[in-house]
Amino acid sequence: MCGRLTLTHPNDALARLFDAAPANDLPEPPNYNLCPTQDVSVVVSDGARRALRPMRWGFIPHWYKTPTGGPLLINARAETIAEKPAFRAAVRARRCLIPAAGFYEWTKGADDARLPWYFSRPDGAPLVFAGIWQIWDKGEDPLATCAIVTTGASDWMAETHHREPVVLAEADWPTWLGEADAKAAPLMKPAPEGLYQRWRVDPAVNSNRAHGPELITPLAA
């Protein structure tokens, strides 16, 4: 599961990183508590040129009559993505990159209290998640939507959660975007050891109304 993100890198820096043309309506960083149904910045490619554009985090299958016409699909499981009717066409033809500064996961404390942890890269570089996207066109205006691909957790990640987002190395971006003639399925695996750092943060982040850099401050012991 990957259910909350942070997005703090400037849009122009992301555009340079991915060599992508930025849209004018990208979500404005920083956002220290980016929640499902909000816009994320997504990299797509037509094979010749990349674009950095906003998409609603929450994939909407084409048969939904409204955006809330079924379960909120923020993640797609790597193990079944090629078989699920909601995702199988997208994973073949509409793959994307979803950058984030970090993400939150939760463990359970006393009395089932939700204890949040923050994950990011030690070097401060963006995490680049494997994603899929879909245009939902049943409303007045077409809506671009996306989901993050997840896989079973590594032993280290499993100390916190049994699943983790698929993170792509720069060398694998062309394959995932369909720019390279290679199979994408082998890329859907846990992150290598040492990619992440993690620490406990204040339960204030449990509220989707909470904002500010203090949300990722390490919790005092």
Residues marked as catalytic: 2, 105
Give the angle subtended at the CA of 39 by the CAs of 146 and 218, to the nearest 5°. Answer: 105
Question: Nearest CA to 4 among 221, 216, 218?
Answer: 216
Question: Nearest CA to 197 among 119, 137, 139, 135?
Answer: 119
Query: CB–CB of 171/94 below 8 Å?
Result: no
Cα gap 115→148, rounded to integer Å: 22
Question: Nearest CA to 165 among 197, 131, 134?
Answer: 131
Total residue count of the chain as it appears in this document:
221
Question: Nearest CA to 55 among 130, 167, 143, 137?
Answer: 143
